[in-house]
Chains A and B, each alone.
Chain A
Amino acid sequence: MKSASKRLAANCALMLAMAVSCLAQEAHVGNLTGHATEGKKHYRRYCIGCHGPLGDGNGENAQWIDPKPRDFTAATFKCRSTPTGTLPTDQDLYNSVGRGFTNSNMPHWDALTDQNRIDLVAFIKTFSPRWQAEKAGDPIKVPAEPPVTMESITHGAELFQKMECWKCHGQQGRGDGPSAATLTDSKDNPIRPYNFAAGGDDSRFKCGVTNQDVYRIFMTGLDGTPMPSFADVIQPNDAWDLVHFLRTLQTNRHSRENEVLKAAGGKIPTKAPDANPPAQPENKGSGSGN
């Protein structure tokens, strides 16, 4: 009896400590410090309708929304600067709140002050215990961008083939590759690959508009979606070549990449088929004369 009440007291103390630490959750970006207690007020006003009172993405509007609102209890986020499987940085979440998500119902919350947004980030971090147990991943380094050249674009096009990006995104980047129709996110909701060719000068990627953002998207992967991380299999310089090529898939968008491509005649040279046999090296020297 005594030990039971002792255990109860210990449990209560633990729960209290957790509750306090939850409410004491902070977020830091530059000189800003966000507080969960403040963020909770803004959340209840601006976010609860879609993300829900429990932060699980089941707000009352959620049933009408596609893609579905983020489930914060899973602590899995698409837009990160950190490796796949790791928590994003406070800066990543702060950027997402301010940027919003293109092709979704998540608006850019630039009507909120910087302090409001960082408070919200602190509160979002109370929905999963992972924020107590883990640190954010180490951001993937993005080296300085090399100049846009036809060589870079051409090599990027080769990588697009080699990495089989086209399996989902399609040869023209229209999001219509052979696997596109079957894709689902980690909650089994259908999801479409990004259509590079849609939109013009206003077109945005899910996680930003700059070349650095594009670099980051395929190196980190978009966790919770079919888009994997390529950080282990693409070298930094190759990654920039791929970025330059991907920009040329945005055919209606003015860009340095499209200018360079146009100046070179508008076509990316493909290697002669003889110089690049389709991946059957073991057939070489077999003497079959095929």
Chain B
Amino acid sequence: MRTKLVFVALLAFMVSPALSFGAGTVSGKITYTGTPAKQKPIDMSKEPSCAKQHTTPVTTETVVTGANNTLANVVVYISAGAPEESSAPAQAVTFTQKGCQYIPHVLAMHTGQELKVVNADQTSHNIHPLAKINREWNKSQPPGTPPLSEKFDKEEFVPVKCNVHPWMHGYFAVLKTSHYAISADNGTFSLPNLPPGKYTITAWQEDYGTQTQDVTISGSETKNVDFTFKAKPY
């Protein structure tokens, strides 16, 4: 029985080397040098229903750092070398407005993938993606209304804002690939399931811009790719 299983596994490995078997991983850490600008405190007193949801002071999230100079909320993705993807993932991604903040602050999605926008607050928000390549739209979402369903057709980093609550800022990272990751609080990221090949990895931070590195994956190896951004003091 066991030999049979091993045989089947071996067969699968040989038949589909480009699938999960024998696939490589790119992982690494995002850090910064220098001193990042101090995040500004957010005064939500004009919106008491949101202010009371926060027990600790809320700040802007333009640059989110962790211990040992790590950077969170950096979008890392395969910008070249990945095979063309014919369709977007069927699963929707969700963007939640809670406590007059965007959760997550940076949301990555595939072109054409369904985006659900949820208002979990007791106040009206307007969702206003300031798209330049995609279409700019602006919709009101009063409390208790069902999630909005939208999608973006073209690759773009779209700033999102709520005009009613001017401190609310976020980003949609619309990508042509499903090989993407957002760096965690400790700055780490991982791009698994990469078939052998030569790739360009791009890292994007909303204030610091983009960086790229080339990497070659041969077989089921894990390549380490780190990015270091130069912090802007202002």
Contacts and interface: CB of A to CB of B under 8 A. Distances in A.
Interface of A: 74, 76, 84-86, 162-164, 167-168, 178-179, 182-184, 186, 221, 223-233, 279-280
Interface residues of B, number: 25
B142 A224 contact: no
A179 B163 contact: yes
B142 A186 contact: no
Interface of A is mostly: loop
Contact of A168 (B49, B123, B137, B163): B163
Given A84-B137, A163-B124, A221-B138, A168 B164 contact: yes
A186 B130 contact: yes
B166 A182 contact: yes
Given A164-B123, A186-B130, A226-B126, A76 B136 contact: yes
A30 B86 CA distance: 41
B231 to A, nearest CB: 24
B143 interface: yes
Contacts of B139: 84, 221, 228-229, 231-232
Interface of B: 46, 49, 122-124, 126-128, 130, 132, 135-143, 145, 148, 163-166
Those 7 A-B pairs whose CB atoms lie nearest each other, nearest first: A85-B137, A226-B163, A228-B126, A164-B124, A182-B166, A228-B140, A85-B135
B163 A183 contact: yes
Contacts of A221: 137-140
Contacts of A226: 126, 128, 138, 163-164
B13 to A, nearest CB: 40
A201 B145 CA distance: 37
Interface of B is mostly: loop
B77 to A, nearest CB: 25
Contacts of A164: 123-124, 142, 164
A167 B164 contact: yes
5 contacts: A86-B135, A164-B123, A186-B130, A221-B137, A232-B140
Nearest to A130: B135
Contacts of A233: 140-142, 145
Given A167-B164, A279-B122, A232 B145 contact: yes
B136 A230 contact: no
A182 B42 CA distance: 14
B163 A228 contact: yes
Given A228-B138, A233-B140, 15 more contacts: A85-B138, A163-B124, A164-B123, A168-B163, A178-B46, A183-B166, A186-B136, A221-B140, A223-B137, A223-B138, A226-B126, A226-B128, A227-B138, A232-B145, A279-B122
B46 A179 contact: yes
Contacts of B165: 179
Contacts of A168: 163-164
Contacts of B124: 163-164, 167
A153 to B, nearest CB: 20
Contact of A229 (B49, B135, B140): B140
Contact of A223 (B46, B132, B136, B166): B136
A279 B143 CA distance: 10
Nearest to B126: A228
A178 B123 CA distance: 14
A92 B206 CA distance: 36
A221 to B, nearest CB: 5
Count chain A CB atoms within 10 A of each CB in B122, B136, B140, B145 and give the residue with the most.
B140
Given A164-B124, A167-B164, A226-B126, A74 B137 contact: no
Contacts of A74: 132, 136
Contacts of A85: 135-138
B7 to A, nearest CB: 48
A232 B142 CA distance: 10
